[in-house]
Amino acid sequence: MFHKEGNKIILISFSLVVILSLVANYFVGNQLYKGGIILTLVVFLLLILQFFRNPKRHFPLNEAHVLSPVDGKVVVIEEVFEKEYFKDKRLQVSVFMSPINVHVTRYPVGGNVTFSKYHPGKFLVAWHPKSSEENERTTVVVKSETFGEVLHRQIAGALAKRIVNYAKEGETVEQASDSGFIKFGSRVDIYLPLGTKINVALNEKVKGGITVLAEK
């Protein structure tokens, strides 16, 4: 199963692979070279397919839990001053996604979307300290009955050239439903109220909509 954001790219990639394979088969006489070209094209297509995969999952929805919005590795757990929306101290948990991770972004909590904003910016590597303030990004805040307002921020990385954000202010969203998609490597920051119990550790691998990042 593939995410809808990949439909156009998958179709174009498949068409190019078929056309170039036919061209190689017709014009390249050396069997070794021909086989190498076709193999490279097939590997390219497989990489595109795995990037846009959207596996079916059973989400353990729970209002007392904050679920990881994405697949990846926890790279930051710290108390910080959140400048854009809260303008006060929050607990930040950041998850870095490599190009081989599933890149669907899911709502960590359910509730009412109180803020949704896109910011154009740079494309620093996603683990750069300034990436959360200077890179292309989207900020979404959902007001949960249990945690109050929870902010998650999609941040483009050096390879991510497009962020898709589905959140619209005023709408009610369900925990673990699609919040957006980031194409080709990135990270997501989650900002939680001080005192929230964090359930993950640095360098721990997490799954979007599955792993419990924090609880009340």
Q: Domain map of the chain by residue range?
A: 4-51, 65-215
Cα–Cα distance measured from residue 94 to residue 129, given in angstroms and rounded to the nearest whole number: 11
Q: In angstroms, rounded to a whole number, what is the distance separating the alpha carbons of residues 133 and 116?
A: 16
Q: What pLDDT was estimated at residue 101?
A: 87
What's the burial of 185, exposed, middle or buried (CB within 10 Å: 0-12/13-18/19+)?
buried
Superfamily grouping for domain 65-215: Glucose Permease (Domain IIA) (2.70.70.10)
pLDDT on residue 42: 93
Confidence (pLDDT) at 3: 74
User: Which residue, among 153, 141, 152, has the nearest Cα to 112 in the 3D structure?
Assistant: 141
**What is the distance in angstroms between the CA of the first residue and the CA of the last residue of the chain?**
34
Q: Which residues pair with 122 in a beta bridge?
A: 135
Work out the angle at residue 8's Cα, subtended by the Cα atoms of residues 113 and 17, and round it to the nearest 5 degrees: 145
Element (H, E) at 213: strand 212-215
Give the pTM.
0.82
216 residues of the chain, pLDDT tens digit each: 877 887 888 899 999 999 999 998 888 888 888 889 999 999 999 888 877 888 888 899 999 999 999 999 999 999 999 999 999 999 999 999 887 888 899 999 999 999 999 988 765 655 555 556 667 889 999 999 999 999 999 988 655 557 889 999 999 999 999 999 887 668 899 999 999 999 999 999 999 999 999 998
How far is it, in rounded angstroms, from Cα 93 to Cα 202? 9
* Candidate list 68, 116, 132, 186, residue with the active-site label: 186
- Is 186 marked active-site? yes
